Structure 1
Amino acid sequence: MEAIRTYQMILRKVLQLMKYTHIVFDVDGTLLDSEDAVLLSFQKMLFTIQEKMYPLEELRFSLGIPGHDALARMKVEPLEDAFRIWGEYEKEFSYSIKPFKEIPSTLSQLKRNGIQMGVITSRTREEYAAVVPPFGLDHYFEHILCAEDSPGHKPDPAPMLRYMELSGAGKENVLYIGDSAYDCRCAHGAGVDFALALWGCRAPEGISPEYALEKPEDVLSL
């Protein structure tokens, strides 16, 4: 018992010295390499409904924003039917979704270090359940904020403000890791530091993170 108390005391002192005690992750482009599945299913859905084949580059804007917003931008109607079809097609391409290399080991090490972790994603809960738990990553996260869980969506700061409300974390102790300008604006709007996941980011120009991480394990150095 004495050894356990000593360990707990040391851990508390270490955590007091650490700036970031909460690390929050985006899903697509950060935890998971899902770009092909998202874009190919979006392309197929648009061809089914609008009978037009869009180049994938024209659809890249859809990465990192709520699906309903992407559909509205493409003027797809009826919206709910399109959203359902898109989800069905994404399942066809789910074979291409996988965690980025080093993500599982990095999450495991962060947990051993006593870091509390969470997720903020533009996916709905149903969409999240289809892609993250199958890889055995779900148990690392104490708070998972999906599209339904806050009044606003990225780039609005509402999801991050909701995370801090649920976790009790101060903004100075939270780091958000994502791959897009939407993620950065969400973090900064809530007064939280942002780390850019270069391993999943296709367009880093114009994004102003506190940190630019080349690979997932780089977060351990923070």
Structure 2
Amino acid sequence: MKPYKCVIFDIDGTILDTERMNMIPLQRLIKRELGQDVTYDEILKYRAYPGKKVIEELGFEDIEATYALWVEGVNSFEEKAGFYDGILEVIQTLATRGVICCVSSSKLHPQYLIDFAEHPIDQYMTRVVLAEDTLKHKPDPEPLLKAIEGLDISVDDCIYIGDMDGDGIASRAAGIAFGFALWGAPIIDGINADYYLEHPKDILSLV
């Protein structure tokens, strides 16, 4: 294994623990607007989708209005997003070592600003690629390739850290190594990865 020069991060389930603050308001929205009782486990599959894609997949007719209601529910939810233990310190350490750090996420930009309002990470990131920045989204490789576009590094120099199978599929399609973030993964079995990382600090051994 050669040291990687660039670490690309997913956000939800990798940097931030946002699962409950996103999924419970969605569950409540489905009940209120569609009259459907869905379990928490049933909606977990939507974690990796861009926000408006979730609304579309669920069959809502007015995508924009329904998405706005979901965002309202997330922003007023009683629990807020928090950093996974040790991840911010790892990002800071990578930056001080001269490792290129990027973000590639299906999160929309307004929600990104909300989630990182108290503790911005942009100062550590060479590039942040969000849902609005690409036409295609994971598991398509476009968001990962966009993150390193013009950085004068090859895909062999990069590793993507994520918590979902779709992250791994996108990584392989891009020719980028995949580090599976076990600390935030809802499903562990059957996920194909180059590295299985128990704790954020394990990333430091790869650079």
Secondary structure of 2:88's match? helix
Secondary structure of 1:40's match? helix
Identical columns (%) = 29
2:114 counterpart residue number: 130
Match 1:113 to one of 83, 97, 118: 97
Which structure 1 segments of 5+ residues have no match? 1-16
Assess, with a 3 A threshold, how the Cα gap between structure 1 residues 151 and 168 changes in structure 2: closer, same or farther. Answer: farther
1:19/1:172 contact within 8 Å kept: no
1:144 counterpart residue number: 128
Secondary structure of 2:178's match? strand
Deviation at 1:69? 2.1
For 1:195 and 1:88, locate their aligned partners in 2 and report how far apart those are by CA, in whole Å. 33
Secondary structure of 1:117's match? strand
Match 1:29 to one of 13, 33, 42: 13
For 2:87 and 2:150, locate their aligned partners in 1 and report how far apart those are by CA, in whole Å. 24
Q: Which of the pair has the greater relative contact order for Cα pairs under 8 Å at 6+ separation?
A: 2
Larger Rg: 1
2:32 counterpart residue number: 48
Q: What is the 5 A alignment of 1:136-175?
A: 136-175=120-159
2:85 counterpart residue number: 101
1:65/1:182 contact within 8 Å kept: no
For 2:76 and 2:124, locate their aligned partners in 1 and report how far apart those are by CA, in whole Å. 27
Secondary structure of 1:96's match? coil
Aligned Cα root-mean-square deviation (Å): 1.5
For 1:22 and 1:182, locate their aligned partners in 2 and report how far apart those are by CA, in whole Å. 20
Q: TM-score, normalised by structure 1?
A: 0.88
Structure 1 window deviating more from structure 2 (109-118 vs 72-81): it is: 72-81
Structure 1 segments (4+ residues) deviating >3 Å: none
Q: TM-score, normalised by structure 2?
A: 0.94
Which structure 2 segments of 5+ residues have no match? none
Match 1:216 to one of 197, 200, 204: 200
For 1:97 and 1:87, locate their aligned partners in 2 and report how far apart those are by CA, in whole Å. 14
For 1:194 and 1:24, locate their aligned partners in 2 and report how far apart those are by CA, in whole Å. 10
Q: What is the 5 A alignment of 1:184-195?
A: 184-195=168-179
Deviation at 1:18? 5.3
Deviation at 1:192? 0.3
Give the counterpart letter for 1:216 in structure 2. Answer: P
- Structure 1, residues 15-53: CA drift from partner, whole Å, max 9, x if none? xx9531110100000000011001111112212211223
For 1:168 and 1:122, locate their aligned partners in 2 and report how far apart those are by CA, in whole Å. 24
Structure 1 window deviating more from structure 2 (203-212 vs 25-34): it is: 203-212
Deviation at 1:109? 0.9
1:31/1:99 contact within 8 Å kept: yes
